[in-house]
Amino acid sequence: MTLAFAAPDSAAIPLHLLDEGEVPDWIEAQSAPIRAWAKAQGFSGAIGQVLTCPGDEGIALAAVGYGSARSRARGRFHLAAGAARLPTGIYALTCTLENDLVEVEALGWLLAQYRFDTYKDQSAMGAALIAPEGIDAARIEKIANGEALSRTLINTPASDMGPPDLEAAARDVAAEFGASIKVTTGEDLLAQNYPLIHTVGRAADSEARLIDITWGEDGPRLTLVGKGVCFDTGGLNLKPGASMALMKKDMGGAAAVLGLAHMIMATGMPVQLRVLIPAVENSVSGNAFRPGDILTARKGLTVEINNTDAEGRLVLADALALADEDQPDLIISMATLPGAARVAVGPDLAPFYVDDGDLASAVEQAAAVQADPVWRMPFHSPYEAMIEPGIADLDNAPKGGFAGSITAALFLRRFVTETPNYMHFDIYGWQPSDAPARPKGGVAQGTRALLAALPEMLGL
Ligand code: BES
Ligand code: ZN
Ligand code: ZN
């Protein structure tokens, strides 16, 4: 599905987005019948409250509550909260907000139109919005469609989103923007020295693979790496049923970087972009890798497997080592890594790690403007000892689980030694219940913040 604004229409219904404080004066300024109607309806401007006023031709005008500063702080995409309840029609937004706030609300409207309808028709939102004036509507549509791509990739179950399907999706994205794509599959992974990707994926029927997209001739070099575990059973350290239920989303990092790459290419950011996705299924079979195995990674480091369920850091290790070999200006990885991150910050905040304080602030500031919340976590070097088991260079699952998100990030950082800057996002990738502009299901995190922050981060 394509998310887009409606074409300009002279018969559009005026739609007022009103702060609670503006409502009394606004009501007084209306004609007598509308004033009486708004009062009779008890319209107060609370977030998501919708008012539609009748006229000779149907709806004469509509209003959506924008709440108060205090109530807005409890959520985001306030126009979207009401948009879903507006009757079918074409609406033209009127409000007193600054342009960057209008952009966020307009984006929220588009994102509220997203439906995962591959397997069942879903009721479409009947209300359509004409692109508000003064904002870059084409850019917002590109952002919304990158996000929709991430959502659909995550929502599609492993039966239709195994490693070959993820490869097909990556090929579609590459083809859309004339990017190059190379995929290394199955036994070739061993021949070309991606031992960890091969080992994690070897018990599955679908062969493991490493997807490598490149795009752009000039500009700073940016490499995105996304965890593409198309289903995570936990391997021989099998997950209990309840923990396995949602593991189709364990390619959420891959979905996020593909969505971000889509935004970068669609908006024509002047960078040399590379996207690396190790795509595997962490499955169970007689040839599955075992707890206690010691593997040698592409980088030469040995890794003791203490839990086959800590597989994401293994496949990312080989992909990060490859990313590091050509020393781009910046490497960013994204992954649904340890449950520890979810315990620490919940599903709504995307924890991220980076050593450089300026890069961290660029992301934090962009996140606030884009309504894409992130939280900086520390690469706390004193915990390096926790990932050193003694009989190998690294331990993939330190016992005790102290600082589980930090130790996973430290593990990944060991594979980036030649590149000046490395940033890692530990995302949840799933919206647990319906929220404005975020229907229950797959969701990208950090991508909109990164799109906005990248020009500053890369010195563009
Ligand atoms: N894919 C999971 C992490 C996960 C779990 C993400 C739930 C989102 C929701 C990852 O591969 C995993 O299983 N991690 C283990 C790590 C542990 C064995 C060190 C975990 O979190 O239990
Ligand atoms: Zn796992
Ligand atoms: Zn996993």
Q: 227-283, pLDDT tens digit by residue?
A: 999 999 999 999 999 999 999 999 999 999 999 999 999 999 999 999 999 999 999
Instruction: Say whether 139 is catalytic.
Output: no
Is pLDDT of 339 > 90? no
The closest residue, in CA terms, to atom 19 on ligand 1 is: 397
Max Cα-Cα span within the chain: 82
**Mutation test of ligand 1: which of 337, 394, 445 has the most ligand atoms closer than 8 Å to its C-beta?**
337
- In this structure, is the dihedral angle defined by the CA atoms of residues 10, 12, 13 and 19, taken in order, positive or negative? negative
Name the average pLDDT for the chain.
97
C-alpha to C-alpha distance for 255 and 429, rounded to whole angstroms = 9
C-alpha to C-alpha distance for 98 and 95, rounded to whole angstroms = 9
Ligand closest to Cα of 230 equals: 3
Q: Name residue 330's amino acid.
A: L
Determine the pLDDT at residue 69.
Answer: 97
Token pair 């679908």: residue: 206
Atom number, ligand 1, closest to the C-alpha of residue 337: 3
Determine the pLDDT at residue 160.
Answer: 98
Query: Quick one: average pLDDT of 66-91?
Result: 97
Is pLDDT of 208 > 90? yes
Q: Show Cβ contacts of residue 431 under 8 Å, excluding neighbours closer than 6 positions.
A: 347, 438, 439, 440, 441, 442, 443
pLDDT band, residue 1 (cuts 50/70/90): confident
Determine the pLDDT at residue 410.
Answer: 98
Q: Is 40 helix (H, G, I), strand (E, B) or coil?
A: helix
C-alpha to C-alpha distance for 236 and 275, rounded to whole angstroms = 30
Query: Six-digit token pair at 443?
Result: 């969701």
Query: Quick one: average pLDDT of 347-376?
Result: 98
Is pLDDT of 337 > 90? no
Three-point CA angle 329, 342, 301, nearest 5°:
50
Is pLDDT of 431 > 90? yes
C-alpha to C-alpha distance for 230 and 34, rounded to whole angstroms = 54
Residues 318 and 194 sit within 8 Å (Cβ to Cβ): yes
Instruction: Say whether 239 is catalytic.
Output: yes
C-alpha to C-alpha distance for 225 and 261, rounded to whole angstroms = 11
Instruction: Tell me the per-residue pLDDT of 127-155, one tens digit each, with 9 for 90 and over.
Output: 999 999 999 999 999 999 999 999 999 99
The closest residue, in CA terms, to atom 5 on ligand 1 is: 339
Distance 308 CA to ligand 3 centre (A): 9
Atom number, ligand 1, closest to the C-alpha of residue 237: 18
Token pair 């300026």: residue: 358
Q: Show Cβ contacts of residue 7 under 8 Å, excluding neighbours closer than 6 positions.
A: 130
C-alpha to C-alpha distance for 307 and 396, rounded to whole angstroms = 7
Whole-number percent of the chain with pLDDT over 70:
100
Distance 238 CA to ligand 2 centre (A): 9
C-alpha to C-alpha distance for 268 and 262, rounded to whole angstroms = 10
Determine the pLDDT at residue 20.
Answer: 98
Beta-strand relationship, 294-296 and 302-304: antiparallel
Nearest to 444 by CA among 455, 420, 428: 428
Determine the pLDDT at residue 338.
Answer: 87
Is pLDDT of 104 > 90? yes
Determine the pLDDT at residue 229.
Answer: 99
DSSP string covering 5-34: PBPP-TTPEEEEEEEGGGHHHHHHHS-HHH
Lining residues, ligand 1, CB within 6 Å: 232, 250, 307, 309-312, 336-340, 342, 397, 404, 428
Determine if the pTM surpasses 0.85: yes
Q: Show Cβ contacts of residue 244 under 8 Å, excluding neighbours closer than 6 positions.
A: 232, 233, 234, 238
Tell me which of 313, 413, 414, 448 is the catalytic residue. 313
Rounded to 5 degrees, φ, ψ at 276 are -115, 125
Query: Six-digit token pair at 331?
Result: 């490497």
Which region among 25-29, 90-94, 335-339, 411-415 has the lowest average model confidence (pLDDT)? 335-339
Determine the pLDDT at residue 455.
Answer: 98
**Mutation test of ligand 1: which of 196, 309, 349, 383 has the most ligand atoms closer than 8 Å to its C-beta?**
309
Tell me which of 35, 239, 342, 376 is the catalytic residue. 239
pLDDT band, residue 349 (cuts 50/70/90): very high
Distance 424 CA to ligand 1 centre (A): 16
Query: Quick one: average pLDDT of 1-12?
Result: 95
Query: Quick one: average pLDDT of 185-201?
Result: 98
Instruction: Tell me the per-residue pLDDT of 41-50, one tens digit each, with 9 for 90 and over.
Output: 999 999 999 9
Which region among 20-24, 55-59, 418-422 has the lowest average model confidence (pLDDT)? 55-59
Ligand closest to Cα of 396 equals: 1
Which region among 220-224, 342-346, 382-386 has the lowest average model confidence (pLDDT)? 342-346
C-alpha to C-alpha distance for 253 and 259, rounded to whole angstroms = 10
Ligand closest to Cα of 337 equals: 1
C-alpha to C-alpha distance for 89 and 182, rounded to whole angstroms = 45
Instruction: Tell me the per-residue pLDDT of 378-410, one tens digit each, with 9 for 90 and over.
Output: 999 999 999 998 899 999 999 998 999 999 999
